[in-house]
Amino acid sequence: MPKPLPALFSSLTARLMALAALTLSGGNALANEPAVLEKMAHDFLTPALATALPKDAAMPLRAEVVMGSLDARLKLAPCNRVEPHLPKGSRLWGRSRIGLRCVDGPTRWNVFVPVTVKAWGPAWVLKRPVAAGDTLTQEDAEIAEIDWAEQRSGVLAVPERWVGQLAAFPLTAGLALRENMVRAPQAFAPGAQVRVSGEGGGFSVSATGRALTAGMVGESARVKLPGGRVVTGVVRDAQTVELAL
């Protein structure tokens, strides 16, 4: 599954900043005008998206950018050189912003242009409501184009990631299936006898113990061994907990 769009790579950011700065060198007196700054933000953003969007041919994403604007009443000191940048902790995914800072002028300033990055692509959308705890089947959903960046939770783009899983809460028709909407079915209940196994360093171990917690496939569970030791491992099936050695 394509990962949400990350923050710009440092090398790409450096090249874009240098290019943008060159366009404003030479004493451009309009570098402090909102319209000029907004165009700089747009010009900075466009190549960044083209480089960073996932290129998975099976699940192509189509970027759509909605640029915000600076307050028309904003009055900034003249600046000979403005650098666009992605603020620390921000990423070009959903609601974000592009920073513009004056690095050569009588007064240093830093302003931000709001931006919304949409990433349109195929996803599985529910055809009907699903009650909390119900098992999802492929008949419950159909393919449709959605904005992947609308929420932070990742999209479950392939059926293998959600078919057979349980609805984590009541799901309504029209929702695109995302990671936070499903949970693994219970493989065993607390008190069940399970086999604990592990391999590493040229040796392997295997023992039978009693589950202290419910076991969900792919998630952690605690098991008490006959000698009283409590271990934690990953549930592989209804009878097996695997230890990392």
Cα(188)–Cα(76) distance, integer angstroms: 64
Task: Look at residue 142 in the predicted model and tell me its pLDDT.
Answer: 96
| Residue 157 in tokens | 């783009």
- Class (C level, CATH) for 186-242: mainly beta
Beta bridge partners of 123: 144
Q: Give residue 60's pLDDT band: very low, low, confident or very high (50, 70, 90).
A: confident
**In 7-33, which positions are buried (b, 16+ CB within 10 angstroms) versus exposed (e)?**
bbeeeebeebbeebbeebeeebeebbe
> Which region among 1-10, 34-43, 85-94, 211-220 has the lowest average model confidence (pLDDT)?
1-10
pLDDT at 151 over 70: yes
| Region of poorest pLDDT, from 86-95, 167-176, 215-224 | 86-95
Mean pLDDT of 191-220: 89
For the chain, give every domain's residue range: 10-118, 121-183, 186-242
pLDDT at residue 67 above 70?
A: yes
pLDDT tens digits for range 104-125: 988 999 999 999 999 899 999 9
CATH says 121-183 is which class? alpha beta
In terms of pTM, does the model score above 0.95?
A: no
pLDDT at 25: 43
CA dist 102 → 107, 115, 131, 132, 232 (Å):
8, 20, 54, 53, 54
